[in-house]
Chain A
Amino acid sequence: MLAMTLEQPTWLHHWPAGLKMAVMAAAMVAFLPVTEPVVIGALVAATAALYASLGTPALRRGLRLLRPLLLVLAVIMAWHLIIGAPRQGAVICLRILGLVALANLVTLTTRLDDMTAVLERLLSPFRRLGLNTAAVSLALALVIRCVPVLTQKGNALMEAWRARSPRRTGFQIAVPLVLVALDDADHLAEALRARGGVARPD
């Protein structure tokens, strides 16, 4: 299953994931107390410049990721125009835009492996408290493996429904789909047990 990382490498791809997340968090904090539209506009422009410095594919993908947000922002801006607070509306919209763009930047430039490595590092102190990190890794891998499989079976169920009914598929496929998921979970558990079970924490 494809992650959202941009395939074309940029200079930001080479930065360590942990560092990117820390810098992003700090930059996001910088956005929060701003109340002047000019200042926040400058911050958003700086973020846009950052995207641009990564190249056209990154800029285009970044804009595409922000597209679902635009409708919401338009509604928010319209609301603030109606209640007569256009400056506040502009600040709010620009802030949301900037924060989401910054967060997306980390996701765009960090590979899944690097993100899971950060996760492992974050979780390792909890191993002493009894957290089974091997189980967490296994669970993550299982979900990634199972989403395409379940999607395929869900599509098969929808096709079977469409072959027999002129109506659109509704929640009626929920029951067979969940049963498929339960049966898959059962088989996978047997396969795990056959391989010696889930590794216990050391």
Chain B
Amino acid sequence: MERSLTMVALFAALIAVLGLFPSFMLFTGVPISAQSFGVMLCGAVLGARKGALAVLLFLLLVALGLPLLAGGRGGLGAFVGPTSGFLYGFPVAAFVTGWIAQNWRGVSLTISAAAGALIGGVGVLYAFGAAGMMLVIGLSLPEAVAALAAFIPGDIIKAVIAGVVTGAIYRARPGFVLTR
């Protein structure tokens, strides 16, 4: 019980810390933040339920007024802006990532975690992000997808790296990874 609580708390902190690192500029020319990387890791390491809880805990702190989002942003304003869809998608993304990672046992954790990160951390997350943009900005679905398209290649790479990182963590601390 204690270990569950501290793991959830530490991973919530991890999402914040990863968001504080400066964004990377990939060959696509579009900056990618490491924050959704943290969300993917929550699901891949903690599993569906605890991963989602960690993300919810993180979002709760942002709502309470802590500048934990990438770029030092935070507060209630982040939940009503044009990119707020992504925030609402974070916990779902972690849940789906964890669900795939813990249930797809036939392959190594690296592969199932990467698959989970791709489907949950990119697919589901961008669905929420696009929906948010459609609601707030009034875009149509194809327009929202077109606006987000530039960011997707970078996030696909992120998801694969999340899988590799999860596999490495499992080798280093097998007892801590809850998806195996």
Q: A residues touching B (Cβ–Cβ < 8 Å)?
A: 1-5, 21, 24, 28, 65, 68-69, 72, 76, 88, 92, 96, 99-101, 103-104, 106-108, 110, 112, 115-116, 119, 135, 138-140, 142-144, 146-147, 149-151, 154, 170-171, 174-175, 177-179, 181-182, 184-186, 188-190, 192-193, 197-198
| Contact residues, B143-180 vs A (CB, 8 A) | 158, 161, 165, 168-169, 172-173, 176
Q: Collect the chain A residues with CB atoms within 8 Å of residue B2's CB.
A: 189-190, 192-193, 197-198
Chain A nearest CB, measured from B157 CB (Å) = 9
CB pair B6–A186 under 8 Å, yes or no, is yes
Docked complex Cα distance between A174 and B164 (Å)? 10
Most buried by B among A104, A185, A189: A185
* A115 contact from B3, B65, B81, B158, Cβ within 8 A: B65
CB pair B168–A175 under 8 Å, yes or no, is yes
Interface size of B in residues (CB-CB distance below 8 Å)? 55
Chain A nearest CB, measured from B27 CB (Å) = 13
Most buried by A among B3, B64, B158: B64
Q: Does B30 contact A (CB under 8 A)?
A: no
Q: B residues touching A (Cβ–Cβ < 8 Å)?
A: 1-3, 5-14, 16-18, 20-21, 24, 34, 37, 41, 45, 57-58, 60-61, 63-68, 71, 73-77, 79-83, 136-138, 158, 161, 165, 168-169, 172-173, 176
Q: Collect the chain A residues with CB atoms within 8 Å of residue B16's CB.
A: 143, 147, 150
CB pair B75–A107 under 8 Å, yes or no, is yes
CB pair A182–B7 under 8 Å, yes or no, is yes
Docked complex Cα distance between A72 and B83 (Å)? 9
Q: Given A72-B82, A178-B41, A181-B14, decide whether A146 and B9 contact each other with a Cβ distance below 8 A.
A: yes
CB pair A103–B80 under 8 Å, yes or no, is yes
Q: Collect the chain B residues with CB atoms within 8 Å of residue A144's CB.
A: 61, 66
Chain B nearest CB, measured from A199 CB (Å) = 11
